[in-house]
Amino acid sequence: MRKAMGFAKYSRPIRERAVEDPRLNSLVRALLGDADFELYQDMALLKPPGGGREKPWHQDAAYFNLAADARVVGCWIALDAATPDNGCLVFERGGHARGELPHFPVRDYQLCDAEPRRDVVACPLPPGGLVLFHGRVPHGTATNASPRPRNALQLHWVASATAALVPQDAPGGRVARFGGAARGLAC
């Protein structure tokens, strides 16, 4: 198993220590422009030692059935030390400014491997460390080549005013906005 989703509502410790933590909530509120917000998605990301697979370059917003103007903040919390050899996050600095980029079903729903990466920054974290980022920042993780696990909790919050769901295949939905093949592009 690589991922577990939708469990925060059933786990009081996760809710109290992460989702409802007042320090984290104040950061999320500030990043969303003092807006009311709600939890949109929660995931446990599991990367076992010696081969936990990569997560190719992508933008989280490409997976969300939200409108283009949705304001989303992602939070990635390291449960184990996250290092370059066990698959810490890597980001394209300032990549959110490039807007919505085409994604393709290759090894995952991802950015094209041939797409050049600009100003790549690794983000190693200690256990309990976290990083907050925009839903359009291109990022990914490498395969876990280490003898240690690399597990993480990922949360996404959305400003309540922009949380309306949009069917993925609707005009203006995520397939039309992010789907490379739907836009006649090839990877």
CA 135 to chain centroid, in Å, comes to 7
**Average pLDDT by stretches of 10, the chain with 187 residues:** 85 85 94 91 94 94 94 96 97 94 93 91 98 97 96 96 88 90 83
Q: Which two tokens mark 107?
A: 């090894």
Domains parsed from the chain with CATH numbers = 3-181 (2.60.120.620)
For residue 173, which of 71, 63, 95, 57 has the smallest C-alpha distance? 63
Residue that is written with structure tokens 């030692």 in the block: 49
pLDDT recorded at residue 22:
93
pTM score of the predicted model: 0.92
